[in-house]
Structure 1
Amino acid sequence: MENIPPKVQNQLAMLQQMQQQLQTVVSQKGQYELTIREARRAVEDLADVPEDAAVFMNVGSVMMQKSKEQVLASLNERIETLELRVKSLEKQEKALQGRFEQLSSQIRGALEGKQQPPGPA
């Protein structure tokens, strides 16, 4: 690191930070996608349950009896909300990936001795 110019050292630190952000976004997206799959499976399972059957749902740390209709509405709302979050995370991931690749290219260029022209920020 001694022979690396301070600007490039700063860019390397930014690159590491960006990589961590990218990993966090990918991890969150995966968790949301898993939760969506579980909620969809619950909706599918509820399709076989009679309308007047006792259905229970966790509300915080308490399990409460709810109507099938209420549980389905809650699950569908949860799925919709999580799908929006996943879309948002996908946009973040794409933007971070683009910036990551751009910065990587600039660093490689600087280390090879040929400075890359700065791209759009």
Structure 2
Amino acid sequence: MIHLDEWSAILIVILVGFLPTEMWRSLAVIAGRRVQEGSELLLWVRSVAAALLAAIVARLIFVPTGPLVDIPLWLRLVCILCGIGAFLAIRRSVFAGVVVGELVLIGGAWWLLH
């Protein structure tokens, strides 16, 4: 049975997390219908998205928090190199790059800690 405190937490997550995000997604879908494939606006949006992703990855590598602090820098860099290698080797598959990078990270962390 869910208690009142749990319902409050669920309501807060829906109001603060889900609804604002869903609102912006819906507006993006509506606005995106008018954007031509290959337009300057779409190229700019893709560039900004790629830059944000690169910044997040760089921060995880060079300024880690939480459990990543215990993983040495050399292992985090090896994970990135292996992920990029898998991405390029398997028909530019982002999924393959992420999976290989994660497996190298998990395997390397396990090896270091045991």
TM-score, length basis structure 2: 0.32
TM-score by length of 1: 0.30
> Relative CO higher for 1 or 2, CA cutoff 8 Å, sep ≥ 6?
1
Structure with greater strand percent: 1
